[in-house]
Each structure stands twice: as structure tokens, then as C-alpha cells.
Amino acid sequence: MFCGSERDGGEALRAVTHAANIRYDKAAEALCILDQSLLPNEVREVRLDTAEEMVEAIRALRVRGAPAIGICAAYGLYRLARTIEDPDPEVFQTQLRAFSAQLCAARPTAVNLAWALGEMENTAAAHAGAPRRVLLEALYEKAAAIHQDDIDKCRAISEYGLSLLREGDGVLTHCNAGPLATSRYGTAQGPFFLAAERGMRIRVFAGETRPLLQGARLTSYELHRAGVDVTLICDNMASMVMKNGWVQACFVGCDRVAANGDTANKIGTSSVAILAKHYGIPFYVLGPTSTIDRNCPSGDQIPIELRDPEEIKSLWYEKPVALPGVPCYNPAFDVTDHSLITAIVTEKGICRAPYTESLLF
Ligand code: MRU
């Protein structure tokens, strides 16, 4: 089904940019997420009540994308705080920190997870002497503020990102950094939705993103449904589309940006950056300042998640594509050296090298 924004007055576009990937139902005290692992074949919301369910959902990429896992964990910690019944404030704080550590351990690379949980822990500590009802309310307000803050930041990042593009440009993107991975417009894919809203013609090339196919399953799904001109390519086709002159810029998201600008993002991102340098194409990283890790001097200190080799051998849905005993190396992220990055776009503006100065304002 084609849902072009021109044909329906922008409704399809809005349905994508305003979809509720994470929703906290206050009346039911229920944390609900859109299960991204089922897309694009099935749209199903699932409810997460326990710490185990939340950790499983983050690990299995039911909820994924650096900002989205931070938002989910923030609401999740509030939800879990409600289950702490011990009246002793010290016990409450201890149990809350234990839940926070459990959620934080779900995935190591995206710093937004630890960042959002740290914000929640600080809020709890600041209300340590308050009655339980007041403390819980403060935690809910904080989670909702983290969510709203991401909506605002994504919009600002999208505006700055769009200012780097011209009518008719082709842009290559990798993985998924759109509404599903964030809230509303997204980061690296946000400018494409804004361009569509404004009738500006941009052609997007979305790398399929092996092994878990976030580009195929999620990015092309979101962009196509919104009426954005998107062409899905296999990751190994990037060089060819660049050589053909079809790409004027690369836009990617980020999971953790070190103080020197080295950037961890989905595995394969650094290959795109190296190709872009070869062809003289600008390579931009887009992400909120909550993805900058000031305590991490360079990419060498960023923990890279290693995932189950079966993900390589079984594709996403289908039969195995390799013998069961074949050893596999399956890192989920790689680090792009800051020297390959033309600029890092945050909600505060467009930061250029030296990043040790421009990022750490
Ligand atoms: O393993 P994933 O799907 O969570 O990886 C996501 C990415 O690498 C995104 O590009 C990144 O989190 C930025 S999302 C705005």
C-alpha cells in the first residue's frame, strides 16, 4: 500500500512521525511498547510489567534505538518503583538502585540507557525524605520529562540536519534512527520527514543493516509509509551508489559519542564513513547531547555489545543460512573515528572538529 503524504494531505507522514512507540498509560499504570522485533509484518503493542520483561524487551530489540531504550527504562524504573512496598525510605532507595542496575545491564553500548536511569536515580535521591506518593509522582514526572525532552531535541536535530541538505539531494543512511528509535521525528532520519512536510525532494538510500536488518525492517518501513522517496539497498551496495553520484551526504545516528568525537553506532557505520571519505561525500552524525559521554575520552573506551552468533546464521525470520557449527563474530556496534566525521549535529547545533571543544560546551 502506498501512503504518499501528497495524496492524503500529510496524514500518513504524521501517522509515522507521531506513532506511539513507547507509551505510559497512567490510568492503568501500564508501560506499553510497540514490539519492533515483529515489524514490518505485524504491528503489536506489548506491556512490560516486570524488570525481567523490560530487560528481555531491550535485549531482544523489541524496543531499540539509543534514545528509545533510555525513555523506556525511565518509565520502566517508575513502574518498578511502584512495586516497592517497604515503608523504610532507605530500603526503597536501595531496591530502586537494584532495579536500575538490572535495567542498565540490558545493553552496554548506548549511553542513553545509563543516562536516563541516572536521571531517575537522582530524582529519587532528591525526594528521599518525601512521602512515597510524592516520590512516585516525582519519578513519573521525570520519566515524562525525559520523553518530552527527546521529542523537542529530535525536532531541533532534524531542523539542523535539514539545513545541511539541498533540494534533490541523495542521502545514505544506516540502521534506524527514526521515530521508532526515538520519539517523533528521530535524529538521523528526522530531516527526511521534515523535508517531506515542506515539499522538499530528498532521495534516501537505506542500507539494510545486517545482521538484524533495522534498515530494511524499520527505516524503509517508516520512510515509505510516510511517502518519503526511499530506496533500500544491501549494505555492500553503498560504494556503488556513491560512485554513481547518487549520494550527496551520509546521515547516521549514534549510540555513544566520546569526548573526542569518536562515535559508536550500528555495526557497519564506520565502513560507510570510510567509503564516504573515499568519494569525498560529507558524513554527518546526528544525535541528542544525552548520547555524548563526557567521561569517555575516545572510542577505545566505548563498550561494544557482542550478540548471539545465531543472529548471523539465522537471518531474522527464515531458515539457517550457515552450518550450525560455523564460528561467528557478531558485534552490534562499531566506532567511527572522529577524523571521518564532517560534523556532529545535536539539538544545540552543528559541531565541527575539534570536537573536544565544540561538543563539550
Ligand atoms: O541495535 P540497535 O537497533 O538498537 O542500534 C540502533 C542504532 O545503532 C541507532 O543508529 C542509534 O541507536 C541511534 S537511534 C536515534
CA of 82 to the centre of ligand 1 (A): 29
Mean pLDDT of the chain: 94
Instruction: Please report the pLDDT score of residue 204 as a whole number.
Output: 96
Give residue 29's region: left, alpha or beta (phi > 0; psi -120 to 50): left
Mean pLDDT of 212-238: 94
- Residue-wise pLDDT for 45-78, tens only, equals 999 999 999 999 999 999 999 999 999 999 999 9
**CB-CB contact of 321 with 315 (8 Å):** yes
132 pLDDT higher than 70 = yes
State how far the Cα of 232 lies from the Cα of 134, in Å rounded to an integer. 49
Q: Catalytic residue at 334?
A: no
Q: In a 10 Å sphere around its CB, with 0-12 CB exposed, 13-18 middle and 19+ buried, how is residue 354 labelled?
A: exposed
Is the minimum distance from the CB of 66 to ligand 1 under 6 angstroms?
yes
pLDDT in tens, 290-339: 999 999 999 999 999 999 998 988 876 667 666 777 777 788 899 999 99
Query: What's the rounded Cα separation, in Å, for the pair 81 and 100?
Result: 10
187 lines ligand 1 (CB under 6 A): yes
Instruction: Using DSSP bridges, classify how beta strands 343-346 and 283-286 pair: parallel, antiparallel or unpaired.
Output: parallel
Percent of the chain with pLDDT over 70: 96
Atom of ligand 1 lying closest to residue 181 CA? 14
- From 35, 64, 182, give the residue whose CB has the most ligand 1 atoms within 8 Å, as the site to mutate: 64
Helix-helix angle 66-81:89-104, to 10 degrees: 150
Instruction: Over range 241-259, report the average pLDDT.
Output: 97
The predicted structure's pLDDT at residue 119: 98
pLDDT of 317 reads 63
* Cβ neighbour number for residue 144 with a 10 Å cutoff: 16
57 lines ligand 1 (CB under 6 A): no
Residue 178 beta carbon below 6 angstroms from any ligand 1 atom: no
- Per-position b or e across 315-326, b if 16+ CB within 10 A of its CB: eeeeeeeeeeee
Question: Among the atoms of ligand 1, which is closest to the Cα of residue 305?
Answer: 1
CA of 66 to the centre of ligand 1 (A): 5
| pLDDT for 3 beyond 50 | no
Q: Work out the pLDDT band at 1, boundaries 50, 70, 90.
A: very low
Share of the chain above pLDDT 90, in %: 86
Q: How confident is the model at residue 340 (pLDDT cuts 50, 70, 90)?
A: very high
Give the highest mean pLDDT range of 2-6, 138-142, 306-310: 138-142
Cβ–ligand 1 distance for 335 under 6 Å, the answer no
Q: pLDDT band for 115, please (50, 70, 90 cuts).
A: very high
Q: 133: CA distance to ligand 1 center in Å?
A: 35
Residue 5: pLDDT over 50 = no
* Helix boundaries (H) for the chain: 11-17, 51-59, 66-81, 89-104, 111-126, 132-162, 190-197, 214, 220-225, 238-243, 269-279, 310-313, 355-358
Predicted confidence at residue 224, as pLDDT, reads: 92
Instruction: With cut-offs at 50, 70 and 90, classify the pLDDT of residue 2.
Output: very low
Task: Say how many C-beta atoms besides its own lie within 10 A of residue 46's C-beta.
Answer: 15
Is residue 6 scored above 80 in pLDDT? Answer: no
Cell 551520509 locates to 250
Ligand 1: atom nearest CA of 286 is 15
**DSSP state letter for 181:** G
Strand positions, DSSP E, 159-202 = 170-173
pLDDT at 4: 43
Is 228 a residue whose pLDDT tops 80?
Answer: yes
Does 9 score more than 80 pLDDT? Answer: no
Q: Rounded distance, CA 113 to CA 109, Å?
A: 9
pLDDT of residue 77: 98
Cell numbers for 270: 564506520
Cα 89 to middle of ligand 1, angstroms: 37
Segment 162-192, tens digit of pLDDT = 999 999 999 999 999 999 999 889 999 999 9
